[in-house]
Each structure stands twice: as C-alpha cells, then as structure tokens.
C-alpha cells in the first residue's frame, strides 16, 4: 500500500520548498494541492465568472475538467486544462487574491479531494496544503504542520518578488467552515523560522525515521 506524508501550514511556511527536496530524497511524488485550487481560481477568472457568485461557480464546475498529473521527472504534480500545463499563471496577484475565496466552496473541495486521494493509487506521496493531515489523509501517521512568524512569511514572498498578502489568506483559510487550515491532533509541529531549508528537511527526515518510515 502506498504511503502519504502530509505537510500542512499557512502560506509561505516552507511547505513546498521542503516537499521538493523530500520527494527526491525519498523517491516519491510531491503533490502541491494549492496548485489545484489555484488552477480552479484561474479558470473561473478566465471564464469571467464573478467569484462572489457561488451559484454561477457551482454551475460551471461540471465543465472545468481540471487535469492533474505528474511531470516528466516523475517527481512533481502538474495541473492543467486541455493538455496544457499551467505554471506561472497560477502565481499572479489576481489568483493570489481570489484563491482563498474559491477554496472555501465545499463543492470545489469535494472535487479536489478525490483528485488528491487518487495520487496515492499509483505512488507514495508527499502532499502539501492546508487540510492534508485533517481531511485528505487523516489516517497517515506521517503528518507535519509548519509554522513561521507572519513577518518571516511575508518577507519570504517579497524576496520571491511575489505580491501576496499572506495574513489575509491565512485568515480566510483558517476561518472557513469546511476543512479549515489547522494542525491535525497528531501532527508534528515545526517552526520553520528556526532553521534553514536543509535544517527543516533534516528535522522532517529524522521524525519520519522515528515514525518507522524506511
């Protein structure tokens, strides 16, 4: 049976950077679940749908056909439509400002939950997001919750040249009714502001070893 490592945490807490290293060290697929929400937000914006109009969003969902896969390296999840993989389009200010709104809609979460769990059918995964340990893979023993101060996280985004109000997104993501951002009860909490990237990777690897990951 395939195994899942769940990494949850607020925006810019270091989830993606760490998962990118882990997937290659442990030879598994890294799934960026936030990209799926971003791809849905991008498409709805392209279609000109008012993101405050939940009925119109729900009506559009059956025709969205989000395609989730794995890239040529075999390590990284991809998202796209009609055979075209989306990358930079997902990180625009417009998508940053809309994605939490889209992610609060239960009908969208239901669709993406199935796609996220499907990855486990073909491979071990490290999946990062907001509800991976609480909702997507609640039974996995390998759960992590990353934290870092708001100041550090905002500075990380600014250093990347990305305009992203992380505090506003975290507030929306933590306060929504369905699958809010929160640590699973049995998650290992890591303050990523205390280490550099390598330090966080080493910390996760040592916990995995203690939990029996081979």
173 is a site residue for ligand DC (CB under 6 A): yes
Answer for which of 13, 38, 190, 192 binds ligand DC (CB under 6 A) is 38
Answer for which of 43, 143, 156, 169 binds ligand DC (CB under 6 A) is 169
Minimal distance in Å, beta carbon 6 to ligand DC? Answer: 10
Packing angle between helix 166-175 and helix 150-159, nearest 10 degrees?
130
Q: Distance between CA 139 and CA 150 in Å, rounded?
A: 30
Q: Distance between CA 98 and CA 110 in Å, rounded?
A: 19
Q: What are the tokens at 136? A: 């997507």
Cβ(49)–Cβ(64) below 8 Å: no
Nearer to ligand DC, 134 or 214 (CB): 134
153 is a site residue for ligand DC (CB under 6 A): no
Answer for which of 7, 13, 33, 153 binds ligand DC (CB under 6 A) is 33
Q: Provide the terminal-to-terminal Cα distance of the chain, rounded to the nearest Å.
A: 14
- Assign residue 133 a region (left: φ > 0; alpha: ψ between -120 and 50; beta: otherwise): alpha
Minimal distance in Å, beta carbon 170 to ligand DC? Answer: 8
Cβ(127)–Cβ(14) below 8 Å: no
37 is a site residue for ligand DC (CB under 6 A): yes
57 is a site residue for ligand DC (CB under 6 A): no
Answer for which of 4, 57, 130, 184 binds ligand DC (CB under 6 A) is 130
124 is a site residue for ligand DC (CB under 6 A): no
User: Which residues of this protein are in contact with ligand DC, per CB under 6 A?
Assistant: 11, 33-34, 37-38, 99-100, 103, 129-132, 169, 173
């Amino acid at each position: 049976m395939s195994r899942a490592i769940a990494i949850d945490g607020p925006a810019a807490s270091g989830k993606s950077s760490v998962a990118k290293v882990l997937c290659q060290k442990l030879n598994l697929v890294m799934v960026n679940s936030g990209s799926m929400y971003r791809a849905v937000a991008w498409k709805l914006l392209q279609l000109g749908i008012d993101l405050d109009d939940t009925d119109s969003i729900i009506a559009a969902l059956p025709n969205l056909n989000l395609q989730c896969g794995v890239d040529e390296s075999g390590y990284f999840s991809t998202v796209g439509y009609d055979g075209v993989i989306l990358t930079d389009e997902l990180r625009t200010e417009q998508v940053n400002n809309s994605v939490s709104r889209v992610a609060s809609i239960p009908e969208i979460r239901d669709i993406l939950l199935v796609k996220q769990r499907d990855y486990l059918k073909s491979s071990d995964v490290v999946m990062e997001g907001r509800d991976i340990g609480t909702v997507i893979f609640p039974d996995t023993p390998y759960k992590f919750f990353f934290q870092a101060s708001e100041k550090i996280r905002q500075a990380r985004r600014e250093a990347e040249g990305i305009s992203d109000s992380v505090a506003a997104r975290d507030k929306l993501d933590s306060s929504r009714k369905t699958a809010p951002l929160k640590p699973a009860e049995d998650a290992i909490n890591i303050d990523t502001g205390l280490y550099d990237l390598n330090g966080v990777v080493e910390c996760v690897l040592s916990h995995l070893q203690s939990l029996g990951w081979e």
